[in-house]
Amino acid sequence: MTTSTARTPRQRHHEALRRLEHDVDVWVATADAEGVPCMVPLAFWWDGAEVWLATRETNPTGRNLGPSGPGRARLALGDTRDLVLIDGTARVVRREDLPEGVGDAFAAKAEGWDPREDGPSYVYYAVRPEWMQAWGTVAEMRDRDLMRDGVWLL
């Protein structure tokens, strides 16, 4: 969105949900216990309540989101003129513990990449949003929060 006219919070909420449903990749920012940052793009699937990610549990993102790390993530969708930011806490879900349909839905959304076929070091992380913002330009800086403390504001 590149117009200087501000979208309403309701419009931004609708467009943020559209991004969650249709975008294929998300930027995932994490930090370890010492605060060393890590940011990578990952495929994702939105189930309407959580953002599902998959990566190796041995890489920095996996360690940061896993039981030995802080488990916090900031997710970013879109570009600097149409941005959705999400902060949340992740839980680890091993492939054998995936709820029915999650693996297939993730693979379909990830354009055919199926982490279940890429070896046992891949695990899933379900990130529950606690805070979400959406904005495009300075005109939308006011009222950019869509969610606080896990509760939609609209």
The pLDDT score that the predictor gives to residue 32 is 93
Q: What is the pTM of this model?
A: 0.92
The pLDDT score that the predictor gives to residue 1 is 43
The pLDDT score that the predictor gives to residue 4 is 62
Q: Which long-range contacts (CB under 8 A, 24 or more apart) does 4-11 make?
A: 4/137, 4/139, 5/139, 6/137, 6/139, 6/140, 6/142, 7/136, 7/140, 9/143, 9/144, 9/146, 9/153, 9/154, 10/154
**DSSP, res 133:** E
The pLDDT score that the predictor gives to residue 105 is 97
pLDDT tens digits for 19-72? Answer: 999 999 999 999 999 999 999 999 999 999 999 999 999 999 999 999 888 899
